[in-house]
Amino acid sequence: MGQALLPGLRAAADLEVVAETDVEDDLLAEARRARAQVVVDFTTPTAALGNAQKILAAGAQGVIGTTGFSTADLDLLDGQARAAGLRLLIAPNFALGMLLLQRFGEELVRHFPRVEVIETHHEAKADAPSGTAQRTAERLAAAGARSGPGDGREPARGHAVGGVRVHSLRLPGVVARQDLVFGSSGESIVLRHEALSRECYLPGVLLAVRALCGRASSGRTLPQQVGLLRGLDALLFPDA
């Protein structure tokens, strides 16, 4: 992801890439040396919490696309960011189309409460279900969705998230795809978002970076409070 995003970040006329880090580099030292305003982190779940804490320790704000944070991790980071007077924006997915899919799914749940999620990723995807699918199911459940009969422990019926079942596929030739399958008496609706390349995540990352730098446009500004912001919804739907 980092390699896919760098060309777009470098090409942004209103932003400057002041440093790049790799696995063996000292993120805290580099961020301090470069006086980075915002650090973008797309790494691995094992490194994500430590990296977020280093970003705050460097006095920078963070745009983080790594998944795998526990609720306790998020609470910890929220407290640390507030104490530092900084913001961390953590999102499981930066594709604007995915955010719209989740939003439309919440609207559909009002009339089609029976829904299940099918998420498909490339074979190297580390987690299953993905952080994006987990978040989608949480949002659908909060909107009143349910997956129907069963207690969620049937092996072939997917992983239950808040009562909504998520089915994970790992296949070659796929970047990322998510289907929301709604069913009702005599009819069904399928919503699909497919990432055809990792370039689709760049607009969302640029939106987040600009907002944290105070350069958001079209009224898309972050809330004034510091701390943890989960997802891009506050930017994409500022009036919600």
List the CATH number of the domain containing 222: 3.40.50.720
Angle at CA of residue 114, ends 186 and 95, nearest 5° = 115
179/226 same-domain check? no
Query: Is there a cis peptide before residue 45, judged by omega within 30 degrees of 0?
Result: no
Q: What is the model's pLDDT at position 218?
A: 47
Q: Which residues contact 158 (CB under 8 A, 6 or more apart)?
A: 116, 117, 147, 165, 166, 167, 168
- What is the residue type of 228? L
145/205 same-domain check? no
Q: Which of 164, 34, 42 is nearest to 178 (CA)?
A: 164
Q: Is 54 a catalytic residue?
A: no
The tens place of each residue's pLDDT in the chain, 240 residues long, gives 778 888 889 999 999 999 999 888 999 999 999 999 999 998 888 888 999 999 999 999 999 988 778 889 999 999 999 999 999 999 988 999 999 999 999 999 999 999 999 999 999 887 889 989 999 999 999 999 987 776 656 777 888 898 899 999 999 999 999 999 999 999 999 999 999 988 899 999 999 999 888 765 545 555 567 899 888 887 887 665
160/144 same-domain check? yes
175/210 same-domain check? no
Q: What is the model's pLDDT at position 216?
A: 57
192/204 same-domain check? no
- The SS3 call for residue 79 is helix
Q: What is the model's pLDDT at position 109?
A: 96
CATH of the domain at 179: 3.30.360.10
86/204 same-domain check? yes
67/106 same-domain check? no
44/113 same-domain check? no
Q: Is the pTM of this model over 0.85?
A: no
Domain range for 123: 96-196
154/114 same-domain check? yes
Catalytic residue among 54, 125, 167, 193: 125
Q: What is the model's pLDDT at position 223?
A: 58
41/69 same-domain check? yes
With beta carbons less than 8 A apart as the criterion, state whether 229 and 223 touch: yes
With beta carbons less than 8 A apart as the criterion, state whether 233 and 99 touch: yes
**Bridge partners, residue 183, by sequence:** 188
Catalytic residue among 54, 121, 167, 193: 121
DSSP per-residue codes, 100-140: HHHHHHHHHHTT--BEEEEEEE-TT--SSS-HHHHHHHHHH
**Bridge partners, residue 164, by sequence:** 161
181/209 same-domain check? no
203/190 same-domain check? no
Count structural domains, the chain: 2
